Structure 1
Amino acid sequence: DQPVETLVAALEKHTLGLGIVEDCFADPDVTDAFLTAPVDENRIRVRHDGETLRTNVRLTTDGADALASRFRRSSGRAFSRASPTLAATTDAGDRRVRVAGVTTPVSDGVGFTFRAHDESAFRLPDLVENGTLAPSTAAFLSVAVRRGAAVLLAGARGAGKTTLLGALLWELPVDVRTVLIEDTPELPVRELQSEGRDVQPLRVATGDGASIEPTDALRTALRLGDGAIVVGEVRGEEARVLYEAMRVGAADGAVLGTIHGGGGESVRERVVTDLGVPETAFADTDLVVTLEAYDDGGSRRRRLRAIEEVRRTDDGVGFETIATEGSLSLE
């Protein structure tokens, strides 16, 4: 004799929602859920308050296939033998979650990793409060963005690059138009627009069905009007277009993006050597901000590692460290 509302909620969770995955993320201390293929042979593991734990729950093969079908519909990605990887975002109850998926032939069936992305609407004061940034470095970054700096946010996966990028979007002048390019939607576009900000998102979906390539998206962004340009992740041919725009002054506002790297030198190596951007063009970058994740008594936290100013030298490009964790030194 269950109330009708209870039955309706259960049906919605298992037909329209993520089923037992939602139960995992109902605990606010759970940040990740791992569904390893073959899912019917492996228990779901979760990361709870920084510790990875094995649950007593398994997903059925049919359940995994149903999730895969749902993500294909919502993301527009093929997620098939011809395109066996997936990157998407979804909701688990009232929490925003990133999804990474694999399927045959690169995996023994469908498998997923889910990561909560609750920080999407964080602002700089929030990052000061939770210890990611010192007040002085947060103030410095705010001024840099407001004055139209070109900033790359670097770090490993899970270091907090996207979280800081989302927070910096709130520091752009209110009257500045922002064109935002990202593959998987993670930045707080809806929140910014609801506050009256002029934010134009451009979705890029490489490899699956109808899509716009990142390079074409960036060229489109440059034609959509003056203002700030934000690239969710700098990782391919679009880097050359971005730096060409910076060189000729086509982007007259701040230029912000994230990139994998462990500091100024590794970012320079990534951009110049791997992505083919001339070093003279890379010198148009103003700042490289590096973040890192660390364990703090069992809890996984994030912090600023360094802010480096990019400087032209006789030998090409050099870096001047102007901030480290908890300190700021300006000349």
Structure 2
Amino acid sequence: MIGGPAASAPTALVEEVRRRLADDAGGLTPHRVAEALRAAGRPVGDATVLAVYESLRRDVLGAGPLEDLVRRPGVTDVLVNGPGPVYVDRGTGPEPTDVHLPDEAGVRRLAQRLVSSGGRRLDDAAPYADVRLPDGTRCHAVLAPLARPGTAISLRVPRRGGFTLDELLTAGTLCPETRRWLAGVVERRLAFLVTGGTGSGKTTLLAALLGAVPPEERLVVVEDATELRPDHPHVVGLEARPANLEGAGAVVLRDLVRQALRMRPDRLVVGEVRDAAVVELLAAMNTGHDGGCGTLHANAPADVPARIEALALAAGLAREAAHSQLGAALDVVVHLSRDRAGRRWVSQLGTVTRDAAGLVRVVPAAHVDATGGVTFGPGADALAELVG
């Protein structure tokens, strides 16, 4: 009987066994690995068989050689930059690991298997893909030579259980003042957007805010790829679907927002506003669906009207109409920052007003520095009135 921990098998030996197993149909078993080793004239000791078997098994199950990294506590991202060391982010920036991918062929094969497990294809005709894996991990991959120095894989690992507002306060994402203001935003059913750059924690914060929604309210969450996992008893999630290999069957975010409006939501949530779905979101916020919210990529709260305007124009909504609906729909903008050390925190809050031309502006209400110090802006009184 084969037992005990397996050592790492030489890459050349694993590849030789892989080629021999590919020539004959059958499942991956230690017995078949031993037969392939004998046929190749290689040693067939228990330790060698188990090492080769484990290497092949990791390559065909779960996240393959990345599986252990995905499961490590505190890891938020696993990053592959072609052959070589794999990096992880625990919230303080990328750091190298002891996992090393030896060649481009192996990285490409891993990327293709991960993407296929999410129901998409990845090849020279479709050289990039963004999918959700069965365990909820979000996988993005780009094949070489589009990606240099080799095939790139990015895994965004969802936190099991999510955060509460109090946990974000303890972690330093919130200070006591922002904790109180955000609780007021949820309690008063204000419409809000969480903004920030990539990796700033927008989804994490939005999930925590949704977790603070009263349990008797029904949340309908619309996303391109499921990432929001609020700790709430009544959540219905709708996820967009890409086209199949024949180019048919796509379901886009805009269609799902329309469906969500027919599902009696108490609060409509769009996980990330990035396309023409902004038109439906604005319409929903203006038809009695208080407390609507979502996330938006923006460098600062002041940039939000321009971003919304650009998305709405692409969907055929005139500038004046976009600003009119935005001004009537949106109450508060919550902005997250991330410093070079990887620390994330709510750095700004803004309120919404209109200028003499009827265009929407986001007025700074509070600025929070990295130490939790608060500086109030011209929108502070409006924020105080909104949150009570």
User: Superposition pairs for residues 226-305 of structure 1, below 5 Å?
Assistant: 226-249=265-288, 252-276=289-313, 278-283=322-327, 284-295=329-340, 299-305=341-347
- Once the two structures are TM-superposed, the CA of residue 61 in structure 1 deviates from its matched residue by 4.3
Residue 81 of structure 1 deviates from its aligned partner by 3.0
Q: Cα offset for 1:23?
A: 3.3
Q: Say if 2:128 is the partner of 1:128.
A: no
> What's the secondary structure of 2:254's corresponding residue?
helix
> Which residue of the other structure, out of 143, 151, 158, is the alignment partner of 2:199?
158
C-alpha change, 1:142 and 1:13, in structure 2 (3 Å) is: farther
Partner of 2:142: 102
- Contact kept, 8 Å, 2:63 with 2:114, in 1: the verdict is no
8 Å Cα contact 1:161/1:291 also seen in 2 = yes
SS of 1:83's equivalent in the other structure is: coil
1:235, 1:171 → 2: CA distance? Answer: 25
Is 1:137 aligned to 2:137, yes or no?
no
The 3 A distance-change label for structure 1 pair 135 and 2 is: farther
Compared with structure 1, are the counterparts of its residues 289 and 186 closer, same or farther at alpha carbon in structure 2 (3 Å cutoff)? Answer: same
Amino acid at match of 1:310: V
Alignment match, 2:212 = 171
Using the TM superposition, name which of 204-213 and 129-138 deviates more.
Answer: 204-213
Cα distance, 1:18 vs structure 2: 1.7
Structure 1: which 5+ runs fail to align? none
The match for 2:9 is none
Q: CA deviation at 1:176?
A: 1.0
Shift of 1:177: 1.0
Q: Which amino acid aligns with 1:187?
A: L
For residue 24 of structure 1, what is the aligned residue in structure 2?
69
**TM-score for the superposition, normalised by structure 1:** 0.83
Q: CA RMSD in A?
A: 2.9
Cα distance, 1:272 vs structure 2: 1.0
Count of residues in correspondence between the two structures:
315
Instruction: Answer yes or no: is 1:52 the counterpart of 2:91.
Output: no
Distance 2:183 2:59 in 1: 43
- CA distance in 2: counterparts of 1:244 and 1:27, whole angstroms: 42
Query: CA offset at residue 68 of structure 1?
Result: 3.1
Aligned to 2:354: 312
2:238 counterpart letter in structure 1? L
- What is the one-letter code of the residue matched to 1:279? H
* In 2: Cα distance, 1:16 partner to 1:266 partner: 43
The one of the two structures with greater contact order (alpha-carbon pairs below 8 A, sep at least 6) is 1
Amino acid at match of 1:170: G
* 10-19 or 122-131: bigger deviation: 10-19
- Give the distance between the partners of 1:322 and 1:129, measured in 2 at CA: 23
- Give the residue type in structure 2 aligned to 1:79: L
Q: 1:155 to 1:304 in 2, by over 3 A?
A: same
- Tell me which residue corresponds to 1:200: 236
Q: Which amino acid is 1:323 matched to?
A: A
SS of match in other structure, 1:300:
coil
- Distance in structure 1 (CA, Å) of the matches to 2:54 and 2:188: 49
Give the Cα–Cα distance (whole angstroms) in 2 for the partners of residues 256 and 176 of structure 1.
Answer: 14
Instruction: Give the TM-score normalised by the residue count of structure 2.
Output: 0.72
Task: Render the CA deviation track for 1:124-166: whole Å, top value 9, x for unaligned.
Answer: 1111000011122122212212322111111000111011011
**Mapped contact 2:352–2:360 kept (Cα < 8 A):** yes
Which structure has the greater CA radius of gyration?
2
- Tell me if structure 2 keeps the 8 A contact 1:214–1:238: yes
Which ranges in structure 2 are unaligned for 5 or more consecutive residues? 7-49
Which amino acid in structure 2 is aligned with residue 248 of structure 1? Answer: T
Deviations 1:198-217 (A, max 9, x none): 21111113455533111110
Contact 1:45–1:52, Cα closer than 8 Å, also in 2: yes
Task: Give distance in 1, aligned partners of 2:161 and 2:133.
Answer: 13
In 1, Cα distance between the equivalents of 2:117 and 2:58? 16
Instruction: Give aligned-pair identity as a percent.
Output: 29
CA distance in 1, matches of 2:134, 2:165: 24
The whole-number CA distance in structure 2 between the counterparts of 1:19 and 1:162 is 26
The Cα of 1:174 is off from its aligned counterpart by: 0.8
Does the residue aligned with 1:154 lie in a helix, a strand or coil? Answer: strand
For 2:175, the aligned partner's letter is A
Please say if residues 157 and 260 of structure 1, whose CA atoms lie closer than 8 Å, have aligned partners that are also in contact.
yes
Kindly indicate whether residue 45 of structure 2 is the aligned counterpart of residue 3 of structure 1: no
Higher share in strand: 1
